[in-house]
A and B are shown apart, each in its own frame.
Chain A
């Protein structure tokens, strides 16, 4: 498993975490290059289905990050997101989907160092967990199912 490079997808809000990640770069802080950042207007816009699609398309880990509570550009988007994350996490746990592979965090535009830390700890953790084989198997098996009559 030594040559395993985790694929991590980060869903971040435009106003805080994306700016924070920008600051990480301008501050010349080095961090794991395994992360692919996708920018959203707000954490409130990050539909849980997007996370499932990330796993389905080969992500080994996911980061979801936005403004700290009370800092939302739209006042309450992150509060709504927080409740949704709580429910999503509980449902995923109940279905046996590995929540150790998803990091939820609040990273402000001033927290360039924290962003590097969030990414690095996530990547390290995923590296230990290895590729998300069971989910990939589920997706592949489903493709095979269609043709099993052939």
Chain B
């Protein structure tokens, strides 16, 4: 990944950015997020198949923002997260340098948001193949079986909120579960309360989820909670023909409407 290192070094040396958010190798076999502020350390940046985390989550983190202007190593999900964050006015397009990474792992030249939009539009925006199968399998089950499946999975939840924290779209400084008037979601962890939490999370991400799967990957007990938001990605596309994170001007599906939205269940 020499071109990435060269580019990162250049940006830091000519002070176009103060920090490059990328990946580095850790002491174990997994790659981890890295924050490079010193051009001499740009050499530690890596990009390979181990680099799976959605780095866009750091764009709204106060401590990282505090470092100054940011450049970010961005695969397709990260670029789409950036688009969402721009459209929701959480970050400014010209305050971030995008070091795009193509599907085959090479460095893309993403000069501005327009170029990024062009790249995103050319890409496959549906849910990743490996999750499509799981979704299809679940959809084949009877409602009772699905209810049992989710009860079993969600009984494992320990309410550590790693799913929320790992999600770039969950940037609220005070999440609704941390409000206690009303206390929508019980503080304790039990199957029913956990289910309410995951429903709430999925609903708040409807039309905003960009299918990175980070919530499911982050879960320490292995709940496939990304399937909930990904199912809604399919449904949003099905009903409203849009994918999230494709334009800087896009408004979220659930905060807008079309008078002729189609449905068949309201009498």
Contacts and interface: CB of A to CB of B under 8 A. Distances in A.
* 10 closest Cβ pairs, A-B complex: A96-B147, A96-B146, A142-B190, A142-B192, A79-B257, A90-B235, A96-B143, A104-B266, A87-B206, A105-B267
A20 to B, nearest CB: 13
B267 A142 contact: no
B129 to A, nearest CB: 19
Contacts of A87: 203, 206-207, 232, 235-236, 253-254
Contacts of B255: 80
A24 B77 CA distance: 53
Interface residues of B, number: 47
B52 to A, nearest CB: 25
A120 interface: no
Nearest to A52: B196
Contacts of B254: 80, 83-84, 87
A54 B240 CA distance: 29
A93 B155 CA distance: 19
A146 B188 contact: yes
Given A95-B150, A97-B147, A145 B190 contact: yes
Interface of B: 138-139, 141-151, 155, 184, 188, 190-193, 195-196, 199-200, 202-203, 206-207, 228, 231-232, 235-236, 239-240, 253-259, 261, 263, 265-267
Q: Which of B203, B228, B256: most chain A CB closer than 10 A?
A: B203
Contact of A90 (B188, B191, B195, B231): B231
A108 B199 CA distance: 30
